[in-house]
Amino acid sequence: MEGRGHTRCVDLNLRLVRYFVTVAEERHFGRAATRLFIAQPSLSVQIRRLEQELGTPLLIRSTRQVELTGAGERFLVAARRLLAAAADAEAAVAEAEVLRLASILDGLDTVPLILRTLRRLDPLLEVVHGINGMPRQVAEVRAGRLDVAVGLIRDVPADLEVELVRLDPVRVVLRADNPLARRSAVAVADLGDATWVFGNTEHTPDWIDFVLGFLAEAGLRPRPSPSAQTPLSAMLEQVRENDGVAAWPASCPEPGPDLVVRPLVHPSPVYPWYVLWHRDRLTRGVQAFRAAARGAAGEHGWMAAALPPAPPRRLPAPATTSPTAPRPVSVDLH
């Protein structure tokens, strides 16, 4: 309420506001009390308390009916808006859902770009995002501790569903002074003498198996060197220090001015990204994430890199075996 030269602030009790609106609608304390399931004397006391807090009468009382004062008429309009806003706020909290997901490696842009689209589609959805190898992700989804997994899977347990969302061309990153850096593309077979940097074999076994797979297709069998570090920055540092090379998908950031990225040929490997979820837990959050993944794929042209690979093999039910090492997907563009 406004007075001379200042505004009076009142912390309104929504329960009292609701009581007032009900009385205003019924124009009768008895009928309003019946609607509210409270005693009529108590309702009358609560309305007087509201009037005292506002500092002005809201009702004209008589033995037969109730009329609104001018202030009461104005307050009724604002009170209805206030109750509607409160209902919207309560619904927003009630509808909030947490989506638990994981992806294979921090620093790749696939999941962040999906989440950017997801925030536009469902801004109320809370997301908890972790990093883990694909075998662990699959186990967590099956156990109900994750809602969505994102990465490559070869064998799909019977209780999971998958959807291909990205074909990610895999390149090679190497030092700018490496002789192979002068080429526009590098044949995989020409990297036989290179020192390969793989990252942490414990945290990303699925990714390393994928890389070893396309190297084996070209006749190369390098042995992954032990590493306690998985972050992309640590892998790049090893490339710099050891004049090494590393597989570098298009989803990775640019490596820096002293390193270069070149396409791989013969074969040209493509990493397929799948979204996985439990077939019995297709929640609103999972559906929203799938829609966001499709939206991101269309926006960024993720499915234009190559012909789609053969779909993952579905394991018979009951699925008792763990997913096996992923098989590399490649297309020869030359």
Q: Which range marks the domain in which residue 131 is found?
A: 98-331
How confident is the model over 109-148, as pLDDT tens digits? 999 999 999 999 998 889 998 888 888 899 999 999 999 9
Residues 161 and 122 in one domain: yes
Residues 16 and 162 in one domain: no
Residues 73 and 114 in one domain: no
Residue type present at position 277:
W
The DSSP bridge pattern shows strands 59-61 and 160-175 to be unpaired
As a whole number of angstroms, the distance between CA 287 and CA 284 comes to: 5
User: Which of 69, 95, 121 delimits the end of a domain?
Assistant: 95
Residues 145 and 243 in one domain: yes
Residues 111 and 82 in one domain: no
Residues 73 and 170 in one domain: no
Cα 244 from chain centroid?
34
Q: What is the pLDDT of residue 318?
A: 57
As a whole number of angstroms, the distance between CA 226 and CA 224 comes to: 6
Helical spans, DSSP H, in the chain: 14-26, 29-36, 40-54, 70-95, 110-121, 134-143, 205-217, 232-242, 284-300
Q: Name the one residue in this structure whose structure tokens are 């209902």.
A: 87
Residues 143 and 235 in one domain: yes
Residues 63 and 164 in one domain: no
Residues 26 and 137 in one domain: no
- Residue 60: CATH number of its domain: 1.10.10.10
Residues 123 and 183 in one domain: yes
| pLDDT tier for residue 191 given thresholds of 50, 70 and 90 | very high
Residues 244 and 229 in one domain: yes
- Residue 283: CATH number of its domain: 3.40.190.290
How many structural domains is the chain composed of? Answer: 2
How confident is the model over 238-282, as pLDDT tens digits? 899 888 999 999 999 989 889 999 999 999 999 999 999 999 999
